[in-house]
Amino acid sequence: MQSRLIRLTTRRLLPALAALVALAAVACSSAASTAPAPTPVPPGPASGEIKPILATTVLRVGTQRVAFLLVSTEALIKAPEATVTSVFLGNGEGEGERKQAAFHLWPYEVRGAYSTPLTFDRPGPWRLDITVEDGAGPVATQLAIEVAEKTGIPEIGAIPPLSPNKTLYTVERLEELTTDYTPDPDLYQLTIAEALITGRPTVIVFATPAFCTSPTCGP
């Protein structure tokens, strides 16, 4: 009698257990399908290759200075010159111009970048074909860029926005204006608008002194 009860109880429990297993499988499958995919890590240069890094991130139609860095698996490329060819990739695809980009060292002569003026005659996708001599011989790489019709950056020769920014006289403490550890109060007495109407040569700097801890930041 007891053996029969056990068999009956097991027989009744089996469908319930099967249903629970099925639900668990569905839940695991659903969790796996909704789990966020891992963020892909940008690949670095492979052995014997170089990777370009665009330094001039806002490009527009016309002539402007284009700057970029070249790195290998070992170090920053510091060859004196690199050959740059611009190629338009939109409708009417074709080569633009070929220039020699000169290498310029930054302060402390640790790092630097290549730069050259390039002319973009239309907006859209472009590519820079770059060749540089790197020890054993010439090495080539490509850099995809996007050229806009216009940007919000003032052109050379244009009047900057007459900004009524905060000054030494509109805040209680100088620390509200700058992150510099030893700020010079004379640099915070005029608004940009006031400086521009003086007619005197003016340099306006946007910087974060407390966070610029290397030669690649700021200069």
User: Per the structure, how many domains does the chain have?
Assistant: 3
Q: Looking at the structure, tell me whether residues 126 and 165 fall in a common domain.
A: no
Q: Looking at the structure, tell me whether residues 113 and 190 fall in a common domain.
A: no
For 204-217, letters b (16+ CB in 10 Å) and e give: eeeeeeeeeeeebe
Residue 143 lies in a domain: yes
Q: Looking at the structure, tell me whether residues 66 and 140 fall in a common domain.
A: yes
pLDDT band at 18 (very low <50, low <70, confident <90, very high): very low
pLDDT of residue 31: 39
Range of the domain at 15: 1-29
Average pLDDT, the chain: 78
pLDDT average, residue stretch 52-77 = 91
pTM of the prediction? 0.62
Q: Looking at the structure, tell me whether residues 54 and 130 fall in a common domain.
A: yes
Q: Looking at the structure, tell me whether residues 5 and 54 fall in a common domain.
A: no
pLDDT of residue 215: 55
pLDDT in tens, 159-209: 888 899 999 999 999 999 988 888 899 999 999 999 988 989 888 888 777
